A = this chain, B = another copy of it.
Amino acid sequence: MRFSHKVELCDLSPMRKFHPYAVAAQQRGKTIYHLNIGQPDVATPPAFFEAIRAFEQPVLAYAPSPGIPELIEAIRGYYARLGVGFNSDEILVTAGGSEALAITMQCILDDGDEILIPEPFYPNYNTMVRTCGASIHPVPTAPEKGYHYAVRGQIEAEINEHTRALLITNPGNPTGTVLTREEMRMLADLCKERGIFLVADEAYREFVYGGEPLRSFAEFGDLDEHLIVIDTVSKRFSACGARVGCLLSRNREFLGHAMKYCQSRLSVATLDQVAAANLYTVGAEYFAAVREEYKKRRDTVVRCLQAMPGVRCECPGGAFYLMAALPVEDADAFQTWLLEEFDDRGDTVMFAPGEPFYATPGKGKNEIRIAYVLEQQKLERAMELLALGIEAYHGRGKV
């Protein structure tokens, strides 16, 4: 049977190949410290579960396609508190940030089109873009420059007649890079001047550790026609399993097109929307505590990495990820070896090898992404395992 050439171009998750090794390691009694997945360990606020338990309608009916009014109003209020004005009809609730991204790509990308994305980037963007018959055009960065990409000339050099959009993940996954307001303004100007969309994936907005105010590209009112913001409750409220996100835009034509997709999938899960609306009642003290915790973790990871000989890692400003270059040739082979051959008192560690975060062939081969989603003590142990692993990997065969 024949399949779409577009799905043939897509890949299964690059982490999948480590699954059998991880299972085998666990079966041999090894404990694995997981730094490879972006699933926070922070408790979901009780407000979520309280709203679900209080739901008393006898029929679990479809929600309206653009989302339930209570949730849209809650999101509108959240942005208003950030100083950003959105009308209710400029917000479409989606099944997580993932669906907001998929809908956006399907609206703005056509066969042969390109979307600019600074690399390394979130690998799931690949499937979303390829499904549209389009491709990702990477904006190159370098670990030795802290993955800095907000340089006008550098981005402009990559724009061509196929470029339809610039996608910015801010704060960044996998790099943790956080833009300054001046850099955001520059990127906004660039997109306006070149007549391309700015897709702002702001899923990690709350996770900034420099004491700066929370930012959105939506602050720039003059960007109205060009801006699409991707948002989600997943990381903000540690509610990844709710699958509730949204897209926001002031471009009426875009909203009309996006609505076609919202209608074709009928609605987002009703109870999760009701509960997500209640999450927005959570106060600033919740975020302050979460931010403090992640900041400590980031500091621990960076301190440990920078103490490892040959490891290169800058201190990132946000999200809960960072990229590091290791003194190994192939992080993929090193990860397999850590699962297969290595242990320290029965423990080993998993990270995400860097290559799948790049579009440029061969780049990121010696890099890894670390998600610091473990509590302090486990994180310290995981970093110790990484250091011991690198040492043993270099000494292997030399006995």
Given known A241-B271, A243-B269, A272-B269, contact A3–B253 (CB-CB < 8 A): yes
The residues of B that contact A63 with a CB separation of less than 8 Å are 241
Given known A58-B44, A59-B42, A132-B4, contact A241–B269 (CB-CB < 8 A): yes
- Mark A32-46 against chain B: 1 for CB-CB distance below 8 A, else 0: 000000011111100
Interface membership of A220, Cβ < 8 A: no
CB distance from A316 to the nearest CB of B (A): 23
- Mark A238-257 against chain B: 1 for CB-CB distance below 8 A, else 0: 11111100000001011011
Give the distance in Å from the alpha carbon of A3 to the alpha carbon of B228 in the complex. Answer: 13
Partner among B55, B127, B272 whose Cβ is within 8 Å of the Cβ of A260:
B127
The residues of B that contact A61 with a CB separation of less than 8 Å are 39, 240-241
Interface membership of A200, Cβ < 8 A: no
Q: Which of A70-78, A107-115, A295-303 contacts B (4 or more CB under 8 A)?
A: A107-115
The residues of B that contact A99 with a CB separation of less than 8 Å are 265
Residue of B nearest to A243 (CB): B269
Query: How many chain copies?
Result: 2
The residues of B that contact A254 with a CB separation of less than 8 Å are 1, 3
Give the distance in Å from the alpha carbon of A242 to the alpha carbon of B225 in the complex. Answer: 34
Tell me the residues in window 1-50 of chain A with beta carbons closer than 8 Å to chain B beta carbons.
Answer: 1-8, 10-13, 39-44, 48-49
Q: Are B264 and A106 in contact (CB under 8 A)?
A: no
Tell me the residues in window 127-180 of chain A with beta carbons closer than 8 Å to chain B beta carbons.
Answer: 127-128, 131-133, 164
The residues of B that contact A102 with a CB separation of less than 8 Å are 264-265
Partner among B1, B60, B65, B257 whose Cβ is within 8 Å of the Cβ of A48:
B60
CB distance from A318 to the nearest CB of B (A): 21
CB distance from A64 to the nearest CB of B (A): 11
Interface membership of A81, Cβ < 8 A: no
Partner among B55, B60, B241 whose Cβ is within 8 Å of the Cβ of A60:
B241
Tell me the residues in window 48-101 of chain A with beta carbons closer than 8 Å to chain B beta carbons.
Answer: 48-49, 52-53, 55, 58-63, 65, 95-96, 98-99
Main secondary structure of the interface of A (DSSP, over half): loop
Residue of B nearest to A266 (CB): B98
Give the distance in Å from the alpha carbon of A1 to the alpha carbon of B131 in the complex. Answer: 21
Interface membership of A236, Cβ < 8 A: no
Give the distance in Å from the alpha carbon of A386 to the alpha carbon of B291 in the complex. Answer: 60
Give the distance in Å from the alpha carbon of A264 to the alpha carbon of B52 in the complex. Answer: 27
Q: Are B257 and A3 in contact (CB under 8 A)?
A: yes
Given known A133-B111, A254-B3, contact A243–B267 (CB-CB < 8 A): yes
Interface membership of A376, Cβ < 8 A: no
Interface membership of A312, Cβ < 8 A: no
Give the one of A39, A260, A267 with max B CB within 10 A: A260
Q: Are A1 and B225 in contact (CB under 8 A)?
A: yes
Interface membership of A209, Cβ < 8 A: no
Interface membership of A393, Cβ < 8 A: no
Interface membership of A259, Cβ < 8 A: yes
Interface membership of A226, Cβ < 8 A: yes
Interface membership of A216, Cβ < 8 A: no
Question: 5 A-B Cβ contacts within 8 A?
Answer: A1-B195, A59-B238, A60-B241, A124-B266, A241-B269
